[in-house]
Amino acid sequence: MLKTILRAKMVVGSAARADSIWWQDGKVQAVGSFADVRRAASVASGPPPSLLELPDALVTPGFVDGHTHFAEWALGRQRVDLAGCRTRSEAVSRAAAASPTDGWVLGQGYDANGWEAPPTRAALDQVLPGVPAAFDSHDVHSLWVNSVALARAGVDRNTPDPEGGRIVRDGAGEPTGLLLEHAVRLVHRHIPKPGPDHVLEAVRSAQTEAHRLGVTGIQNVEGADALTAFQKLEAAGALRLRVLAHLPADGLEAALRVGLRSGWGSEWIVTGGVKLFLDGALGSQTAWMLEPYEGSPDRGIVLTEERVAREALARAARGGIAATVHAIGDAAVRRALDILASLPAAAIPHRIEHLQLVHPDDLPRAARAGIVASMQPAHLLTDIPLVDRHWGDRGRGAYAFRSLLAVGTALVFGSDVPVETLDPRDGVYAAMERLGRDGAPAGGWRPGERLSFGEVLQAYTQAAWAAAGRAGRGGSLDPGRAADLVAWSAPATLTPAGDGAAFRAARAVLTVVGGEVVWRER
């Protein structure tokens, strides 16, 4: 029966211009001027309203991150972080300082583009000679390991490349310590799994961090461990994130057998689509391309053959399970569109994850078929030079936010955490400004594709709720919607018409989920 009025500088995400919002029983009751909202709240049943005053804050609906690996990130927060290492020697010295958990030194986040030397086992062996060590790359499409880890996994010069993967080898045929795509599994499967209590506690702590960042919902692409943790939190009354849980491809048959359908779930957890990979990623040049990468004969890697993908997704859709398909290169995106457009509808829309490069001929196709484009603007912060280098002029179809929106595509934005940070301010900034981490190029990269704050907000809020089959129940601050909202400390320039830099400089000072204050800056 908690009845709360929040008075701020401005409340956005609702049709009317407003400075106050009243919520009760987990739902927004009214939005408008303070006088109107207070009058309405006072005459309503229940206790007198409590008042929160944040006179400088801008209030938005809570942000939903449209693409997360949440438990992986949660666990990764407890491991070595190699993000931001500009040289291999910097990464090696950070790795050297780590202490093993469960007998392994584990970490993630390195980006070897621009390093003075490639990641090799020899470099790790010098500082970590006696303990297995494995580090996921920033885009999680490659794994850098030492010699002990290769030995534990039984990988040597005689090990063949697995399907859809590559063991990088030196001139003599010896593995160098770098594993690409499916080859990472050769080592991953020997790393001890964290126990369920470990996952639960990591997710619980990561949920608090999400609230601190203004994130009130996630659309997660993980398996049983993550889903179990979310369900345990929900059962304990402690889940305060709206979770759309996609299904891993290897769980499809079991899901169909027991009649699990996309859209089924609770107020907190909704069953998503089946996640299938068509290709790799730009950073590792494994995204599958219609034409070769610039200056290379290579067109990337096909991770799932067309016939296999088509059959699996058709069987899924007939059973009520939507398709959630990873496609980054323009060839993979075209194939995803071909397949998804042919599927029967499920209770939630079919969607393409990443959709980083679209051929001009394919631009209107997602909108026409009602396919959601789930994109991660913060990748732009690192990808601008990579797109120019590897895709050249084809980059006009890369991160084509404005072009996709203009033809009516439903855009959902997320982070792909832990590939990028969960912090939605990075994504908002990237989508509005299209600048790299160095602030270049001046005026924005392909600036015609920039979006306004309102358009970006839509992709993080209403569009995400709709993609979860919950249109109209949340994602805006209209009466009757879930009271999931964030008050952002606002520099004077932070307005709906302001720039991305102003939003990036704001902080979430209050986060509310289901009407409950879950984060408040002190």
| Site residues for Zn ion per CB under 5 A | 416
Residue placing its CB nearer to Zn ion in the complex, 65 or 330: 65
50-61 and 63-68 as β-strands: parallel, antiparallel, unpaired? Answer: unpaired
Residue placing its CB nearer to Zn ion in the complex, 8 or 386: 386
E-state strands within 164-278: 165-169, 175-181, 215-220, 242-248, 269-277
CA distance 481 to 488: 20
* Residue 325, helix vs strand vs coil: strand
Provide, rounded to whole angstroms, the least separation between the CB of residue 288 and Zn ion: 16
Which residue has its beta carbon closest to Zn ion? 416
Listing DSSP states for 52-99 in one string gives EEEEEEEEEEPEEEEEE-HHHHHHHTTSEE-TT--SHHHHHHHHHT--
Provide, rounded to whole angstroms, the least separation between the CB of residue 140 and Zn ion: 7
Residue placing its CB nearer to Zn ion in the complex, 279 or 416: 416
Provide, rounded to whole angstroms, the least separation between the CB of residue 371 and Zn ion: 18
Residue placing its CB nearer to Zn ion in the complex, 19 or 353: 353
CA distance 419 to 353: 14
Provide, rounded to whole angstroms, the least separation between the CB of residue 280 and Zn ion: 12
Q: Which residue type sits at 260?
A: L
Provide, rounded to whole angstroms, the least separation between the CB of residue 69 and Zn ion: 6
Alpha helical stretches, state H, 408-449:
424-433
Provide, rounded to whole angstroms, the least separation between the CB of residue 56 and Zn ion: 36
Q: Which residue type sits at 371?
A: I
CA distance 377 to 302: 24
Residue placing its CB nearer to Zn ion in the complex, 94 or 351: 351
The number of angstroms, rounded, from the C-alpha of 186 to the middle of its chain's C-alpha atoms is 25
Provide, rounded to whole angstroms, the least separation between the CB of residue 416 and Zn ion: 4
Residue placing its CB nearer to Zn ion in the complex, 184 or 509: 184
Residue placing its CB nearer to Zn ion in the complex, 416 or 423: 416
Query: For residue 409, what are the contacts with CB-CB under 8 A and spacing of at least 6?
Result: 366, 367, 373
The number of angstroms, rounded, from the C-alpha of 326 to the middle of its chain's C-alpha atoms is 12
